Structure 1
Amino acid sequence: MAVLHNRVSNKELKERLMQETFKRITISFYRYFPIQNPQEFRDQLYKMYNAISVFGRVYVAKEGINAQISVPEHHMDEFKSIMESIPGLENLRLNIAVEDPSGLNDPLTQGKSFWVLKIKVRDKIVADGIDDPTFSMERKGKYLNAAQMNEMLNDPYTIVIDMRNHYEYEVGHFANAVEIPSDTFREQLPMAVEMLQGKEDKNVVMYCTGGIRCEKASAYMLHKGFEKVYHLEGGIIHYANEIKRQEMEPKFIGKNFVFDDRLGERITQDIIAHCHQCGTICDSHTNCKNDGCHLLFIQCPSCAEKFEGCCSTECKDTIHMPAERQAEIRKGIDKGRNIFNKSQARLRPRLDEIIQAKKQMGQEI
Structure 2
Amino acid sequence: MALLHNRVSNKELKERLMQETEPRTTISFYMYHPIANPQAFRDELWKGLHALKVFGRIYVAHEGINAQISVPVSNFDALRQYLYSYEWMNGMRLNIAVEDDGKSFWVLRIKVREKIVADGIDDPNFSMERKGKYLKAKEVNELMQNPDVLVIDMRNHYEYEVGHFDNAIEIPSDTFREQLPMAVDMMKGREDKPVIMYCTGGIRCEKASAYMLHRGFKNVFHIEGGIINYVHQVKEQGLEQKFIGKNFVFDNRLGERVTEDVIAKCHQCGQPADTHTNCANDACHLLFIQCDACKATYEGCCSTACQEVIHLPEEAQKELRKGKDNGAHIFSKSRERLRPRLDDR
| C-alpha separation in 2, matches of 1:115 and 1:329 | 26
1:341 maps to 334
Q: Cα deviations across residues 126-173 of structure 1 (Å, max 9, x unaligned)?
A: 000000011000000000000111112111120010000000000000
Alpha-carbon offset, residue 245 of structure 1: 0.8
2:39 maps to 39
Instruction: State how 1:142-221 maps to structure 2 within 5 Å.
Output: 142-221=133-212
| C-alpha separation in 2, matches of 1:345 and 1:194 | 26
Name the amino acid aligned to 2:24.
R
Alpha-carbon offset, residue 345 of structure 1: 9.7
| C-alpha separation in 2, matches of 1:191 and 1:217 | 11
| C-alpha separation in 2, matches of 1:134 and 1:220 | 11
* 2:269 equivalent to 1:271: no
2:106 maps to 115
SS in 2 for 1:80: helix
CA contact (8 A) 1:163 1:185 kept: yes
Instruction: State how 1:1-150 maps to structure 2 within 5 Å.
Output: 1-101=1-101, 111-150=102-141
Among 331, 340, 343, the alignment partner of 2:322 is: 331
Relative to the length of structure 1, the TM-score reads: 0.90
| C-alpha separation in 2, matches of 1:212 and 1:52 | 25
1:243 maps to 234
Among 253, 260, 263, the alignment partner of 1:262 is: 253
Alpha-carbon offset, residue 330 of structure 1: 2.0
Alpha-carbon offset, residue 344 of structure 1: 7.3
Q: Which consecutive segments of 4 or more residues in structure 1 shift more than 6 A?
A: none
SS in 1 for 2:285: coil
| C-alpha separation in 2, matches of 1:161 and 1:151 | 16
| C-alpha separation in 2, matches of 1:158 and 1:236 | 18
CA contact (8 A) 1:56 1:115 kept: yes
Alpha-carbon offset, residue 295 of structure 1: 0.3
| C-alpha separation in 1, matches of 2:146 and 2:336 | 28
Alpha-carbon offset, residue 343 of structure 1: 4.8
Distance verdict in 2 for CA 1:309–1:179, change over 3 Å: same
| C-alpha separation in 1, matches of 2:334 and 2:178 | 15
Q: Cα deviations across residues 204-231 of structure 1 (Å, max 9, x unaligned)?
A: 1100000000000000000011110000
Instruction: State how 1:273-352 maps to structure 2 within 5 Å.
Output: 273-336=264-327, 337-338=329-330, 339-343=332-336
1:108 maps to none
CA contact (8 A) 1:200 1:225 kept: yes
SS in 2 for 1:88: helix
| C-alpha separation in 2, matches of 1:344 and 1:323 | 28
CA contact (8 A) 2:198 2:205 kept: yes
SS in 1 for 2:211: helix
Distance verdict in 2 for CA 1:306–1:238, change over 3 Å: same
| C-alpha separation in 1, matches of 2:40 and 2:72 | 25
CA contact (8 A) 2:173 2:334 kept: no
In structure 2, stretches of 5+ residues that fail to align are 340-345
Alpha-carbon offset, residue 331 of structure 1: 2.2
CA contact (8 A) 1:182 1:343 kept: no
SS in 2 for 1:231: strand
CA contact (8 A) 2:174 2:333 kept: no
CA contact (8 A) 1:206 1:231 kept: yes
Relative to the length of structure 2, the TM-score reads: 0.96
Aligned residues: 337
Distance verdict in 2 for CA 1:261–1:96, change over 3 Å: same
Name the amino acid aligned to 2:13.
L
CA contact (8 A) 1:240 1:267 kept: yes
| C-alpha separation in 2, matches of 1:277 and 1:168 | 18
